[in-house]
Amino acid sequence: WQRLTEGMRRTSSSLSDSVTGLFTKRRLDDATLEELEDALVQADLGVPTAMRITEAISAGRYNKEISPQEVKAILAGEVEKTLQPVAQPLTIDRAKKPYVILMVGVNGAGKTTTIGKLSQKFRQQGLTVMLAAGDTFRAAAIEQLKVWGERVGAPVLSREQGADAAGLAYDALQEAKANGTDVLLIDTAGRLQNKAGLMAELEKIVRVVKKFDPSAPHATLLVLDATVGQNAMSQVELFQKAAGVTGLVMTKLDGTARGGILVALAAKFGVPVHFIGVGEGVEDLEPFTARDFARAIAG
């Protein structure tokens, strides 16, 4: 959480400076409330959430003086309330062998890195892990996944560049089943420049996986890069439609001023948030908790 608090400093400090500037020796009048709402929207929390928080702050205090500390405490409380329902751990059902996790997200979001970090966590829990290099579009993605597999002790099933990703996923399922593997993580392509192709490919992978096991994929995790801010909203919509997202991992929360986007996502979609990425290293993946995040954001 040290990393998160430090990383979130860029989100919280701009917000905190606005709050301190606004509420030092000032009454809670319409102009102040409007400026506060603007600051919250600027911090990527989204208009509905910004309005709700502003209302909570003004309730019973209108035309009175309020300290920046009070404002921050209410802000943290409201953010926590918004995040609480979505802060859900990812639980692996050990009865499913393999427990199939489909990883989706646009190129560069941190999908491969997150697969490596998750594999490490599962291995530390004593689970066996297998990886399927389903981003067959990019040779570099296949190579990168192999490097992660070696690092964390997880075999990687791959085919040559351009191979059919759904076919590869099916082979991986068969192999994981035959080997009694606990968790199978399937990487996928994330070419946003070819949306129709991307969606068709994801739909096909899901179809093929279901043919093998109708209860799979048991989790479909969307990896989102926090630094893209509001763009994350349309990514959730796109991937929900193509693959049926069951949970989110938000990466690059270290060193971005746009961490507030997680609050906007929670308010709009209510999709569970399992983990947050706070660095490039294998251990830089933290379970998501509403309270710590809310405190980090309010500064």
Would you tell me which residues interact with ligand GDP (CB under 6 A)? 105, 107-113, 144, 190, 251-252, 254, 277-280, 284
| Residue 216: partners with Cβ closer than 8 Å, 6 or more residues away | 96, 100, 173, 209, 210
CB of 58 to ligand GDP, least distance (A): 36
Which residue ranges are tagged as binding site for GTP?
A: 105-112, 187-191, 251-254
Per the structure block, which two tokens stand in for 67?
């300290």
SS3 139: helix
- Look at strands 273-277 and 285-287 and give their pairing: antiparallel
CB of 232 to ligand GDP, least distance (A): 14
Burial of 293 (C-beta count, 10 Å sphere; 0-12/13-18/19+): buried
Closer to ligand GDP by Cβ: residue 28 or 109: 109
Closer to ligand GDP by Cβ: residue 68 or 259: 259
Closer to ligand GDP by Cβ: residue 73 or 236: 236
Question: Do residues 162 and 156 lie in contact, with contact meaning Cβ atoms separated by under 8 Å?
Answer: no
Which residue ranges are tagged as binding site?
A: 105-112, 187-191, 251-254
Per the structure block, which two tokens stand in for 197?
């192709």
CB of 117 to ligand GDP, least distance (A): 8
Count of other CB atoms within 10 angstroms of residue 30: 10
For the chain, counts of helices (H) and of strands (E): 12, 8
CB of 158 to ligand GDP, least distance (A): 14
In whole angstroms, how far apart are CA 57 and each of 25, 30, 42, 131, 256? 16, 12, 18, 48, 26
176, β-bridge pairs? none
CB of 247 to ligand GDP, least distance (A): 16
CB of 36 to ligand GDP, least distance (A): 30
Closer to ligand GDP by Cβ: residue 184 or 222: 222
Residue recorded with tokens 């606005």: 18
* DSSP character at residue 27: B
Closer to ligand GDP by Cβ: residue 83 or 253: 253
Per the structure block, which two tokens stand in for 229?
């801010």
Could you tell me how many residues make up the chain? 299
In whole angstroms, how far apart are CA 100 and each of 4, 87, 96, 192, 218? 29, 21, 8, 24, 5
Question: Do residues 223 and 103 lie in contact, with contact meaning Cβ atoms separated by under 8 Å?
Answer: yes
CB of 190 to ligand GDP, least distance (A): 6
Closer to ligand GDP by Cβ: residue 40 or 154: 154
Closer to ligand GDP by Cβ: residue 141 or 206: 141
By beta carbon distance, the residue nearest ligand GDP is: 277
